[in-house]
């Protein structure tokens, strides 16, 4: 009895709100109704009801429907009440009226709290004030929310709670839900496009004894039965190219990769990467394919090539501007790429620019990367295909036939962000082995150096056809297309440091 005494207290603290909600829950049970009910036959979603009854005049009645959703707001008026039920499309107003429901059914509204799930049946109509609504003739509770939802108007703002308890963010902030719907549509449009071109979606290992294909530190894990140290993949590249060796010719994978590095508005330790490989193609083919993918997504998902991101108005309609790294460095740094490929020159420039690169601890490649980031990237706003990367930056790319220090590679930049990276794949096993060895030689100053993958080299020894390959970071693409300033806005459950014990 002492518990019930507390429940009867009038107050507004969290414990009391929970107690009141539990009391309401018990009222349903006492009436013989399970407040955590069974499935409910919905004939329509909120947006379907709106669309199908658009033609209704104020006061006019439409079809009979059943509908279900979460109670978002309610306006009680004595012997009538208006409730807004939210489903994934939005929300719909439902109208409860004593005369339509009878005493017993109407009275049960007292046991309903914001956040509860309700199922309703009734006739669609348009109110005096023009709102499409349902005149409820029959209804039930489908699930009880014992925790109170956030502010009905302001939603949930606290970033930490939004990320830690994303479910609250999703049900209380419609625009957040929208972002993740768009994300899903982007990925499915991407799949549809690639499938239509005859690409085969494949799955390669998440765990392996080597983590190659990119410059990044891996996560480690352990397989007990084999007593084996394993790495989580940092890229899908080397396995996908083994598929090309195997004759699969056109493959892609949309997969999670894991990189053991810092967290920022543009980095989450696990993120989603698209990689594509096409036999008998090359980096020029990959330019076309990249343009095709982005163009198709804009057309099918956004319905426009015009996109706003940060303060930029971007036009993503292909084809995109092309520029060589040499041209861009000349334009923005006053020196060409062949000059910059000299260690002394590169590090002197970096020092002059105030960049944090130490000649004793950084590779030339890393230094050039930093210089490009500093001098050139800020200028790459509209989509730009940057070509002719020096060989130091591209250990898996084929050399340009007329300039062996330059590779057949491009990166696509939009709004000074790298969106895609592609090249003609290096298929000469001897050259590949040499590049791996050059990477390994830097191991002491570069903990992100590619490891030597002898099995991969052996695969090339069996022969890999000339191949074009491309990688695209899905999260950053979604950021761009949804105008999201942080990668955490496009990842449902981003990694956060655990909260201290209360």
Partner RNA sequence: GGGUCGUUAGCUCAGUGGUAGAGCAAUCGACUUUUAAUCGAUUGGUCGAAGGUUCGAGUCCUUCACGACCCA
Residue numbers at the binding site for RNA (CB under 7 A): 9-14, 16-17, 20, 24, 59, 73, 75-80, 82, 84, 93, 95, 97-99, 113-114, 125, 127-131, 133, 135, 148, 150-161, 163, 262, 264-265, 354-356, 485-486, 488, 494, 496-500
Burial class (CB in 10 A: 0-12, 13-18, 19+), 439: buried
CB of 406 to RNA, least distance (A): 27
Q: What angle do CA 268, 269, 270 make, to 5 degrees?
A: 90
Q: Write down the H helix ranges in 75-165.
A: 98-101, 103-107, 159-164
| Consecutive H or E run containing 343 | helix 343-352
CB of 12 to RNA, least distance (A): 3
Give the residue with the Cβ less far from RNA, 13 or 463.
Answer: 13
Beta strands in 265-361 (DSSP E): 270-279, 306-309, 312-315, 321-324
Give the residue with the Cβ less far from RNA, 131 or 339.
Answer: 131
Give the residue with the Cβ less far from RNA, 156 or 325.
Answer: 156
Give the residue with the Cβ less far from RNA, 10 or 344.
Answer: 10
Tokens of 32: 């013989």
Cα distances from 265 to residues 40, 416, 486, in angstroms, run 41, 14, 4
Radius of gyration of the chain, Cα coordinates, nearest whole angstrom:
29
Tokens of 75: 């306006």
Give the residue with the Cβ less far from RNA, 107 or 222.
Answer: 107
Give the residue with the Cβ less far from RNA, 189 or 419.
Answer: 419
Cβ contact 175:156 at 8 Å: no
CB of 80 to RNA, least distance (A): 4
Give the residue with the Cβ less far from RNA, 57 or 227.
Answer: 57
CB of 434 to RNA, least distance (A): 31
Nearest to residue 275, comparing CAs of 190, 217, 192, 197? 190
Euclidean distance between CA atoms 59 and 230, whole angstroms: 67
CB of 356 to RNA, least distance (A): 2
Sign of the CA dihedral running 280, 390, 214, 290: negative
CB of 377 to RNA, least distance (A): 11
CB of 16 to RNA, least distance (A): 6
CB of 417 to RNA, least distance (A): 12
CB of 227 to RNA, least distance (A): 32
Tokens of 66: 């059943």
Nearest to residue 53, comparing CAs of 68, 40, 64? 64
Cβ contact 179:489 at 8 Å: yes
For residues 397-418, b (16+ Cβ closer than 10 Å) or e, as one string?
bbbbeeeeebbbbbbbbbbebb
Give the residue with the Cβ less far from RNA, 131 or 461.
Answer: 131
Give the residue with the Cβ less far from RNA, 274 or 367.
Answer: 367
């Amino acid at each position: 009895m002492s518990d019930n005494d507390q429940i009867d207290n009038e107050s507004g603290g969290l414990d009391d709100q929970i107690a009141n909600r539990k009391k309401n829950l018990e009222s349903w049970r006492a009436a013989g109704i399970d407040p955590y009910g069974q499935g409910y036959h919905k004939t329509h979603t909120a947006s379907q009801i709106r669309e199908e009854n658009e033609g209704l005049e104020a006061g006019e009645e439409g079809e009979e429907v059943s509908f279900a959703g979460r109670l978002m707001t309610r306006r009680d008026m004595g012997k009538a009440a208006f409730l807004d039920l939210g489903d994934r499309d939005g929300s719909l107003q439902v109208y409860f009226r004593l005369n339509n429901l009878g005493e017993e059914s109407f009275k049960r509204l007292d046991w309903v709290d914001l956040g509860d799930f309700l199922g309703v049946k009734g006739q669609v109509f348009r109110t005096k004030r023009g709102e499409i609504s349902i005149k409820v003739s029959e209804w039930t509770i489908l699930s009880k929310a014992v925790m109170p939802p956030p502010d009905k108007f302001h939603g949930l703002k606290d970033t930490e709670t939004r990320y830690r308890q994303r479910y609250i963010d999703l049900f209380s902030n419609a625009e957040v839900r929208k972002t993740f719907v768009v994300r899903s549509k982007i990925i499915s449009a991407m799949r549809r496009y690639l499938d239509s071109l005859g690409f085969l979606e494949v799955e390669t290992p998440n765990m392996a004894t080597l983590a190659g294909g990119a410059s990044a530190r891996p996560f480690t894990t352990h397989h007990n039965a084999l007593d084996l140290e394993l790495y989580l993949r940092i890229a899908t590249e080397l396995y996908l190219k083994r598929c090309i060796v195997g004759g699969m010719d056109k493959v892609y994978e949309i997969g999670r990769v894991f990189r053991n590095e810092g967290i920022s508005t543009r980095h989450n330790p696990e993120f989603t990467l698209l990689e594509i490989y096409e036999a008998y193609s090359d980096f020029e083919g990959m330019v076309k394919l990249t343009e095709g993918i982005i163009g198709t997504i804009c057309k099918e998902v956004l319905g426009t090539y015009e996109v706003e991101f940060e303060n930029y108005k971007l036009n993503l309609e292909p084809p995109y501007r092309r520029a060589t790294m040499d041209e861009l460095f000349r334009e923005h740094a006053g020196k060409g790429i062949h000059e910059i490929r000299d260690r002394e020159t590169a590090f002197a420039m970096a020092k002059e620019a105030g960049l944090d690169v130490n000649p004793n601890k950084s590779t030339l490649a890393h230094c050039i990367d930093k210089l490009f980031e500093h001098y050139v990237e800020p200028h790459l706003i509209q989509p730009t295909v940057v070509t002719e990367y020096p060989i130091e930056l591209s250990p898996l790319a084929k050399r340009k036939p007329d300039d062996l220090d330059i590779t057949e590679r491009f990166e696509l930049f939009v709004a000074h962000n790298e969106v895609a990276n592609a090249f003609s794949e290096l298929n000469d096993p001897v050259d590949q082995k040499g590049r791996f060895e050059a990477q390994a030689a830097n191991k002491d100053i570069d903990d992100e150096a590619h490891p030597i993958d002898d099995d991969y080299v052996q695969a090339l020894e069996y022969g890999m056809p000339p191949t074009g390959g491309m990688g695209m970071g899905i999260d950053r693409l979604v950021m761009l297309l949804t105008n999201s300033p942080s990668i955490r806005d496009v990842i449902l459950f981003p990694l956060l440091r655990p909260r201290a014990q209360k």
